[in-house]
């Protein structure tokens, strides 16, 4: 009989589905809930158990992992009579892997403590590919003992797993991550348009750039998106727009100036307003093309 903790997984989207499947592969008993039946069918096909409600999913769980889009969704699944806090057993550990505001994480930990439930915030970076390959970077906020308890589970999902400080710290580091990624994608997109308009072989140029100081994980992961104009969502512009709102608000609260970040936040918002919010964030290239007098591919 398995001595591994029993897992409830709430949220089976682009990231949540492959992540939950990696836990199943690692030998965990995973019961999941999400709103889409096809995602529940996928979990069951992978060897998990599909629940009919949050309450059913969490009632016997030792660890509840949540992976939903934003703070309102975390609050919706956590609170209320049908939520996690009212239905999880005392002593359970919530591992919230959503990307939300630091304050939402702090509030969740405080409210959960009153129910005898522990929480760590554990947002991730690495996108869909990182989720599938179980090589995510996981930034954690919370108590050391809870981090230590969760670490074997997190090691089935990622490669770089770091406790960054108290509750909310993981979300703060994730906000910084999203700032760096957005600025990096924007710089790559501008370079692509500059190179193409200059008549340079783009494949050769990106290969040599990625071998030097301009190289980055962003360029490695997104190079084919740029070359093929393939913007199938691994991480949607809509979600990056949400994250840029989080980082600009958090920076304002602590008195940090983000001049380049503020510009890129506006470019992300502009791309979303033009109807491209459902595309991958590498679609920032489309915005640069428009600004440069080019019509993006349909």
Is position 174 annotated as part of the catalytic site? yes
Exactly one of 39, 174, 222, 223 is catalytic; which is it? 174
**Structure confidence at residue 298 (pLDDT):** 76
Element (H, E) at 129: helix 127-133
Q: What is the CATH number of the domain that holds 18?
A: 3.40.50.720
Per the domain annotation, does 1 fall within a domain? Answer: no
**Structure confidence at residue 234 (pLDDT):** 87
Tell me the CA distances in angstroms from 96 to 34, 109, 240, one per residue in order: 15, 10, 18
Q: What domain range includes position 119? A: 7-166
Alpha carbon 47 to its chain's center: 24
Do 41 and 55 fall into the same domain?
yes
Last residue in a domain, options 144, 166, 188: 166
Last residue in a domain, options 166, 189, 205: 166
Do 161 and 182 fall into the same domain?
no
Do 143 and 203 fall into the same domain?
no
Do 81 and 154 fall into the same domain?
yes
Do 89 and 151 fall into the same domain?
yes
Q: What is the CATH number of the domain that holds 240?
A: 1.10.1040.10
Residue 1 has pLDDT above 70, yes or no: no
Task: Give the count of alpha carbons within 13 A of 36, CB side only.
Answer: 11
- What's the pTM value of the predicted model, to 2 decimals? 0.92
Per the domain annotation, does 298 fall within a domain? Answer: no
pLDDT in tens, 103-140: 999 999 999 999 999 999 999 999 899 999 999 999 99
pLDDT in tens, 16-36: 999 999 999 999 999 999 999
């Amino acid at each position: 009989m398995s001595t591994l903790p029993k897992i409830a997984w709430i949220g089976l989207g682009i990231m949540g589905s492959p992540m939950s499947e990696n836990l199943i592969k690692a030998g965990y008993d995973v019961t999941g809930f999400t709103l889409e039946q096809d995602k529940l069918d996928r979990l069951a096909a992978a060897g998990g158990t599909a629940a009919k409600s949050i309450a059913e999913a969490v009632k016997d769980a030792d660890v509840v992992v949540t992976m939903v889009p934003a703070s309102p969704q975390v609050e919706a699944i956590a609170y209320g009579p049908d939520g996690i806090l009212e239905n999880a057993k005392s002593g359970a550990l919530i591992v919230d892997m959503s990307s939300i505001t630091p304050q939402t994480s702090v509030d969740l930990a405080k409210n959960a403590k009153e129910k005898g439930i522990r929480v760590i915030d554990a947002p991730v970076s690495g996108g869909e590919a990182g989720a599938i390959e179980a090589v995510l970077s996981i930034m954690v906020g919370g108590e050391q003992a809870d981090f230590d308890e969760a670490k074997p589970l997190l090691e089935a999902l990622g490669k770089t797993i770091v406790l960054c400080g108290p509750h909310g710290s993981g979300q703060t580091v994730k906000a910084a991550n999203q700032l760096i990624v957005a600025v990096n994608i924007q710089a790559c997109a501008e370079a692509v348009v500059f190179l193409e308009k200059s008549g340079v072989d783009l494949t050769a140029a990106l290969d040599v750039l990625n071998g030097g100081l301009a190289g980055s994980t962003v360029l490695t992961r997104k190079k084919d998106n740029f070359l093929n104009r393939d913007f199938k969502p691994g991480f949607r512009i809509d979600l990056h727009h949400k994250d840029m709102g989080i980082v600009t608000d958090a920076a304002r609260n602590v008195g940090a100036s983000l001049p380049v970040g503020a510009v890129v936040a506006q470019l992300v918002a502009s791309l979303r307003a033009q109807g491209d919010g459902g595309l991958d964030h590498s679609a920032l290239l489309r915005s640069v093309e428009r600004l440069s007098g080019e019509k993006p591919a349909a």
